[in-house]
Structure 1
Amino acid sequence: MHDIRLIRDEPTAFDAALRRRGVAPMSPSLLALDERRRAITTELQVAQARRNDASKAIGQAKAQKDEATAATLMAEVAALKEKMPALEAEGSEVDAAFQSALAAIPNLPADDVPEGADESGNVEQHRWGNPPSFDFVAREHPDFAGPLGLDFESAALISGARFAVLKGGIARLQRALGAFMLDRQTAAGFTEVIPPLLVRDEAVFGTGQLPKFAEDLFQTTDGRWLIPTAEVSLTNMVREQILGETELPLKFTALTQCFRSEAGAAGRDTRGLIRQHQFEKVELVAITTPEQSDAVHAEMTRAAEAILEELALPYRRVMLCTGDMGFTARKTFDLEVWLPGQACYREISSISNCGDFQARRMNARYRPTGESKGTRFVHTLNGSGLAVGRTLVAVLENYQRADGSVAIPEALLPYMGGLTELRPA
């Protein structure tokens, strides 16, 4: 959500920033709505004050037995009483239109975010590791992981497309990955949380999924939403709060199931685990002061990179351009892991600094040290540390062998109960 005062003060700069994201200028329509709602508020205040004054004057006129003046004033009060409900209704309608328009505008990009229309405009910043060399043709995981316990057929019978059943060693490997990631992220200073998976409208609005992306979510019959990421639950832990500056930064991590309808993903990654309706992810969320947020963004990115390095999975880091960033982000780093079966890098983590955009939607603030009254909006950050299913895919493909077996990365051996490899059943 944006601060309307900044739009009033600098409409040209606001529209220029939106233009970098490929969004048409919004300030003229927004400011017209804003001006009308403020005019209605002023008109209502004037009418209310006049009604109060006239009501008092009626009593005074009657006390003086000035019936003519009293009758004139009574007629005026009656007219005001008739006019005010219509003004209030118009004010509610205009304010709803204004709030809806404001809520639909994406965050503004940071100054150093590269300009571009789509992923082709992203800028690679760093590479780590070398893609493995095989003396056989590397395969994609759906082509060899079935005998290891990856079962799409049973899942399709139970739930339909874009679900999977994991059995035996491969299930143990996924569990090991989640536990390993949580252990590393808590060691890096993130507090482990087990949050709700079902949330209310206000929570999903606060992190920006509503109203724009409702079709990408699953909703229950009682109106709650299944979380698309633990970012929703973790970030909303500070909604409608005023924190002390000394409490910040707050850093949370959670391993949860996530649910996405993938409404706009027809035809993309229909095979395998890359794009599922239900998946596991270790999420990282931070709540900071504006002065801290860039440094915390770098820390969170490094925390995600460290997981890939310990698993010896080659990856690259890219800064997303203005046309490829998410709705709530002001700056985003993507980590893309090498998948030998596809012979390309694929996203495995997206770490975003949202500035105060989500905080305004949640009314999450802090009081600077030494100030007794003034408050400021916090900055929020989120990212994957990592997506467990996609990491499982990366391990399967990077550690595959010609005979269909898969070696277990050394970092995961303490979590595997003695298993050092997965072998076809």
Structure 2
Amino acid sequence: MHDIKFLRADPEGFAAALARRGVTDAASALLAADTAWRSAETALQEALARRNALSKDIGAAMAAKDGARADTLKAEVAALKETMAGLEETARTASVAADAGLASLPNLPAADVPDGVDEHGNIEVLRWGTPRAFDFQPLEHDIVAAKLGYDPEAAARVAGARFAVLKGPLARLQRALGQYMIDVQTGAHGYSETYAPLLVGRDAAYGAGQLPKFEDDLFKTTDGRYLIPTAEMSLTNLVAGQIIDAADLPIRMTALTPCFRSEAGSAGRDTRGLIRQHQFEKCELVTICTPEQAEAEHAHMLASAEAILQALELPYRRMLLCAGDMGFSARKTYDLEVWLPGQNSYREISSVSDCGDFQGRRMNARWKVAGEKGSRGPVNTLNGSGLAVGRTLVAVIENYQQVDGSVIIPAVLQPYMAGITRLEP
């Protein structure tokens, strides 16, 4: 959510920043709704003041036994009531339009975010690791996994497309990945493990920026709750409506949870395998902080996610997303893309985003300095994957596959595998 004061102070600058996100004309429509609301409110206050003055004059006329004047003044009051009712409706309609307009607008990009309309405008800023030289043609993960315990046909019988069944040591490897991630993020990087709801209410979905624009991307229950598409929705909202002392910031949280996405609009994309599922697991990272801490926390979160890839010895690259390719709530995002030899390409495995005060304002979460009256402003929030478990499993399968169809277990995961060092067909 934006502060309407920013738009009022610099409508041209606000519109130009929105245009970088591919949004045009919205600023002018929003400004018109805000102007209509303020004009109606001003007229309403003037009418209220006039009504109060007339009430006093009526009392004086009655005391002076001037019935004719009292009747004239009463008639004016009656007319004012009708006028005020119309002004109240005008103000309400304009306020609803302004609030809806604000809620529908994405965050403004940071100054150092490159221009661009889609992934072609993203900039590679770092590459780590050397892709393995295979002495055979590496296969895509679903082909390898089909002989290791991956059963998409069973999943389809139970739930339909874009679900997976993993069996035996392959299922254990997925669990090992999640356990390893949460252990590293809590033990080495200062994130506090948190267990939070997988179902959230409408206010929480709104606060995280999922509603109202992305309702079709969410699974909704019959009682109006939403299955989380990421633990960011639950973790970020733990501070909703709170005023937090600056001495307690930053707050770093992590959770290993199932995530649920309808994948609306993704028909035909990654229909095979584990890349794009309705249900998957993710180790989420969330930070709540002051504006002054945000840049350092963004770097810390990015390093925390990259540490998992490095420990697993998975080659990856870091991409700075352009303005047109960022998520709705983000002001600056880095994507981590892991090398998949079976696909001969880099694929996204984590997005690490600085959201500024965008979510803090939507959640009415604020921060203060001890001893000062009032708060300094909305908190800043950051979120990222540390990492997406299913996509990491994909990367391990493709990068560690052997010519006989087996898959070597990365060394850091072997303590979680009860002596299993290799997945055998």
Q: TM-score, normalised by structure 2?
A: 0.97
Cα deviation, residue 25, structure 1: 4.1
Matches within 5 A, 1:17-416: 17-187=17-187, 188-416=189-417
How far 1:254 moved relative to its partner?
0.4
Instruction: Identify which range, 267-276 or 410-419, moves more after superposition.
Output: 410-419
Q: Which one is further off, 303-312 or 20-29?
A: 20-29
Q: Once the two structures are superposed, what CA deviation does each residue of 1:101-134 show, in whole Å capped at 9, x if it has no partner?
A: 1111111111111111211111111111111122
Q: Distance in 2 between matches of 1:111 and 1:83?
A: 47
CA deviation after TM superposition for structure 1 residue 83, in Å: 2.5
Deviation at 1:370, TM superposition (A): 4.6
Contact 1:122 1:319 in 2 (8 A): yes
CA distance, structure 2, for counterparts of residue 278 and residue 91 of structure 1: 44
One-letter identity of the residue aligned with 2:142: P
Kept in 2, the 8 Å contact 1:16–1:25? The answer is no
The AA in structure 2 aligned to 1:134 is: F
* Residues 212, 172 of structure 1: alpha-carbon distance in 2 compared, 3 angstrom cutoff: same
Offset from partner CA, 1:225-261 (integer Å, 9 cap, x none): 1111001111111111111111110110001111110
Q: Quick check: 2:339–2:347 contact (8 Å CA) kept in 1?
A: yes
More displaced stretch, 142-151 vs 60-69: 60-69
Pairing 1:6–2:44 present: no
1: CA distance between counterparts of 2:58 and 2:166? 80
Give SS of 1:124's match: strand
Q: Which amino acid aligns with 1:198?
A: L
| One-letter identity of the residue aligned with 2:45 | Q
Q: Which runs of 5+ in 1 are unaligned?
A: none
| Contact preservation (8 Å) 2:36, 2:94 | yes
Counterpart of 1:81, as a letter, is: K
Distance 2:239 2:56 in 1: 47
Conservation of the 8 A alpha-carbon contact between 1:18 and 1:25:
no
Contact 1:368-1:376 within 8 A present in 2 as well: no
Contact 1:341-1:397 within 8 A present in 2 as well: yes
Instruction: Tell me the amino acid that sits aligned with residue 2 of structure 2.
Output: H
- 1:46 partner SS: helix
Among the aligned pairs, what percent are the same residue?
Answer: 63
Check whether the contact 2:144–2:397 (CA below 8 A) recurs between aligned residues.
no
Distance 1:254 1:374, change over 3 A: closer
Q: Which amino acid aligns with 2:296?
A: A
Question: What runs of 5+ residues in structure 2 fail to find an aligned partner?
Answer: none
Rounded Cα–Cα distance in structure 2 between residues aligned with 1:369 and 1:398 = 51
Structure-2 separation of matches of 1:210 and 1:373: 29
Distance 2:93 2:373 in 1: 36
Please tell me the residue identity of whatever aligns with 1:171: A
Matched position secondary structure for 1:148: coil
Contact 2:208/2:233 (8 A) holds in 1: yes
The separation in 1 between residues aligned to 2:235 and 2:70, in whole angstroms, is: 61
**SS at the partner of 2:292?**
coil
Aligned partners of 2:61 and 2:419: how far apart in 1?
A: 96
RMSD: 1.2
1:345 maps to a residue whose letter is Y
